[in-house]
Amino acid sequence: QAVAITGELMDGAGIKADISGRPKHNYSIYRKMVNSGQPFEQIHDLIGIRILTDDVKDCYAALGVIHSRWAPVHGRFKDYIATPKFNLYQSLHTTVLGPNGKPLEVQIRTHEMHHRAEYGIASHWRYKEGAPEDLEWMSDIRFLQDTYENPADFLAGLKLDLYRDEVFAVTPKGRVITLPKGATTVDFAYAIHSEVGNRTNGARVNGRLVPLSTELKSGDIVEITTSNSADAAPSRDWLQFTVTNRAISKIRQHFNRERRDEAQSNGKETVMKAIAKLGLGLTSAARDKALAAVAEDLSYADIDMLFVAVGEGNVAASTVANRLLRQVEPAEDDDGGGNLLDPIRPARPQPGPSIIVEGATDVMVRIAKCCAPVPGDEIEGFVTVGRGVSVHRSDCTNLNSLNERSDRMIDVSWAADRIGSFAVWIQVEALDRPWLLRDVTEVLSQLDANIYASSSGTNAERVAVLRYEVQFSDPGQLERALKALRGVDGVFEAYRLRT
């Protein structure tokens, strides 16, 4: 019955094997009782089967299949493949509770090992036809014999692994995992699958809970437990005891990706703040299109890699913001479209203030959209083709390129006696909370500032962004308003938008 069931198990696992029964003879039972001093009830190998396979890997696969079907008896597993007996005998021995709950001894070895066990070590050479690697191994034994006079030292030296560079561990379902010597349960987990490795939180070896740093031996049945938590991740400490390239590379890959994600998040936040301070009022689509052009200009594959570079300190956020400004600003001699701006309209023109153009009267003057100067700002003029003098703030980024055409630069100034009211867009950034809108508008109302239009929104981090088009009577009123807004509970920034 045991032979038939074992045959079905091997066929189901795709293991090519010869299986035979091996009942113990009466005299063998008697000799074992005499030699071991054990009663008949404690003799576990009355009934046994032998499984012969083509290679060593199949031996361990067969062992896993047997243990997955029948419970192994504790302390009855011997791995003579990894550690051969003195006479070079090799085999896997295990005792399980077989059919009807009776002890069943199972021997598993290759055909070559069986030939050696049946006919002796001398027959091995004929069987192998004098393979050079085994001749070399025999030379090693001769060397040990010549070197060690003490039999105990000789035996210790002889306990070497024929497959000393490999360990064959088995999953509970019988899958054999080949690992280098010194491999741990974490190496085993990553050999199954990288996700299993990344989510590993425990291991059992031969049914016992063990530390993840436990080194595996051939024949160990290893069960990996994993976490389903979204935060499940490998530990940096694992790098101290993993030995396989696969495990080490996957662990490092995880932490490199984690570092890159953190750098990307920090870089994006820094760049967005730098762009916001330019006050361009771009739509998300227009901003991303301009950022993609900046990334290409700086030789990065995409926007995300640009953010990573900023987060890692390889590129300054101000550099990105300035290059983005060049992408979205129209040329001074071009009407410029403005299609990249969101629906917030430019600050509406007022009856004043007036601008004096040095050395010229009755000349058309217009406020540049790129920096939107207001009374109190230092300004410079640029003579355009057919559209008069364009007035910029002295710190306007566009002036860097316009100054190259110095013949068209002209001095301008505010007419101090004719400074009237003006309207600008201001932006308030604050932690979202109840009554925030009320408190902000109340500050503007107390300063007698006239609100023309407003818009607001809140992002995923609960940061509220409020925009107001406000009419002020003089530059001092604007500065007082910004200072007062920064004092509102929860507000961490208030500034003028350059639109």
Residue-wise pLDDT tens digits, 210-267:
999 999 988 889 999 999 888 888 998 999 999 988 898 889 888 888 888 888 889 8
DSSP string over 39-79: -GGG---SSEEEEEESSHHHHHHHHHHHHHHSPBPTT--EE
Burial of 494 (0-12, 13-18, 19+ CB in 10 A): buried
d(CA 80, CA 75): 14
d(CA 204, CA 170): 12
Q: Count Cβ atoms below 10 Å from residue 229 Cβ, excluding itself.
A: 9
pLDDT given for residue 344 in this prediction: 40
Burial of 57 (0-12, 13-18, 19+ CB in 10 A): middle
Q: In what helix (H) or strand (E) does residue 304 lie, and over which residues does it extend?
A: helix 303-311
Torsion angles phi and psi, residue 11, rounded to 5: -60, -40
d(CA 403, CA 103): 96
Residue with tokens 């406000």: 470
Compute the residue count for the chain. 499
Q: What topology does CATH give the domain 422-496?
A: Alpha-Beta Plaits (3.30.70)
- Yes or no: say if 483 and 462 are a contact pair by the CB < 8 Å rule: no
pLDDT tops 60 at residue 170: yes
pLDDT digits (tens, 9 = 90+) for 38-62: 665 655 556 789 999 999 999 999 9
d(CA 493, CA 496): 10
Average pLDDT of the segment spanning 324-337: 53
pLDDT digits (tens, 9 = 90+) for 4-30: 899 999 999 999 999 988 666 555 666
As its CATH architecture, domain 2-123 has: 2-Layer Sandwich (3.30)
pLDDT digits (tens, 9 = 90+) for 291-309: 998 888 888 888 999 998 8
Which one, of 245, 221, 219, 95, lies nearest residue 163 by Cα? 219
d(CA 330, CA 4): 85
Average pLDDT of the segment spanning 141-167: 55
d(CA 62, CA 217): 16
Q: Count Cβ atoms below 10 Å from residue 49 Cβ, excluding itself.
A: 21
pLDDT given for residue 135 in this prediction: 47
As its CATH architecture, domain 166-243 has: Roll (3.10)
Strands 200-205 vs 222-226: parallel, antiparallel or unpaired:
antiparallel
**Residue 240 is encoded by which pair of tokens?**
């101290």
Average pLDDT of the segment spanning 149-170: 60
* DSSP at 197: H
Q: Who contacts 59 (Cβ-Cβ below 8 Å, separation ≥6)?
A: 51, 53, 81, 92, 108, 109, 110, 168
d(CA 391, CA 410): 9
Residue with tokens 């014999």: 145
Is the pLDDT higher at 191 or at 136?
A: 191
d(CA 268, CA 261): 10
d(CA 467, CA 436): 13
- Yes or no: say if 45 and 25 are a contact pair by the CB < 8 Å rule: no
pLDDT given for residue 475 in this prediction: 78
Give the CB-side neighbour count of residue 301, counting CA atoms within 13 A: 3
Sorted by where each begins, the domain ranges of the chain are 2-123, 166-243, 258-328, 355-418, 422-496
Which one, of 78, 104, 90, 74, lies nearest residue 9 by Cα? 104
d(CA 300, CA 303): 8
In this prediction the pTM is 0.41
